[in-house]
Amino acid sequence: MAWKHFFRSLYALLFLFCAILLFYGRTYYFAPAAQRARHVLNPALRQSGTAGHFFAILGTFFMLLLLLYSVRKRCRFASNWGDLSVWLSAHIFLGFAGPVLVLLHTVFKFSGIVAIAFWSMALVVASGVVGKYIFAFIPRSLSGMELSRIEAEAEEIGLTFEMRKLLPADHPFWQRLADIESAGARRSRWEHLHLVFEPAQLRRQLRHLLADSLGLGRRQRKKLITLVVKRHMIHHKAQLLQQTLRILHYWHLVHQPFVIIMFLILAVHVYVSVRLGYVWKF
């Protein structure tokens, strides 16, 4: 939970930084190209300027760092480098922050090989956003670890046991919950899309059911709702696991070529820039 707040803070800081920069440099960024050369901010914000060049270096560094997620995920020697879900969150943030900084470096002006690099980068970000939601359909334990079908069933049993500690088995809540879950089992072919909105809907129904539960405190009701929703989602995600893995396979076939193209063009752009003498002067 602490890591979730940490990454939310990073996104907020990035948004705040971009907002302040765009506000401060609005007369430069939105000026015609012919007028930018004479603008007072041109020495700092232009592509080869002090700040513009720094944005390029930091953005490139962020995009190189995000490759460490693949090392952590695929290499045996990196298996004890921390929680994989935290690495994924860092990978997503770097994959967003890096392109944003590179976009600031370009001063919103694309031509030639830079245009190819930018649109490759945009496709990587877009496909990454799609991938984030595909990953969300893989069942996970309360600790965030990915579960197989059998492990998901074991996790369901454990969650049910925790739920029974809060309310006895003869409580009418369980029959009402069974009715809700059986009604939710009848869904259309858009099952993955349905699961995006289902948790919020289920929480509302559970809060209504538990509103008059005697002997159950506010904290206990909140815990019970969390356990019920988690068990419900694990159950349905486990049922769709094979479909999700198939979709994930096709997603990798689309996402990875964009990443390779982006880094190849980026390497060419950096090499040519350095050869032409565009090095960062601070």
Express each pLDDT in 17-71 by its tens digit.
999 999 998 888 888 877 888 888 888 888 888 888 899 889 989 988 988 888 8
> Could you tell me which of 90, 96, 86, 79 has the C-alpha nearest to residue 2?
86
Q: What's phi and psi for 140, nearest 5 deg?
A: -135, 155
Query: 19 with 63, same domain?
Result: yes
Query: Is the pTM higher than 0.75?
Result: no
**Total tally of structural domains belonging to the chain:** 2
Burial of 5 (0-12, 13-18, 19+ CB in 10 A): exposed
Higher confidence at residue 124 or residue 189? 124
The pLDDT of residue 190 is above 70? no
User: Mapping DSSP to helix (H, G, I), strand (E, B) and coil, where does residue 144 land?
Assistant: coil
Asked whether residue 248 is assigned to any structural domain, the reply reads no
Q: What is the pLDDT of residue 71?
A: 87
Q: How is residue 202 written in tokens?
A: 């289920």
Query: 45 with 169, same domain?
Result: no
* Torsion 113-117-118-122 (CA) sign: positive
What is the chain's alpha carbon radius of gyration, rounded to the nearest angstrom?
24
Query: 78 with 154, same domain?
Result: no
Residue where the block lists tokens 């602490």: 2
Residue where the block lists tokens 């496909």: 127
Residue 93 belongs to domain spanning: 2-137+255-275
Q: What is the mean pLDDT of the chain?
A: 79
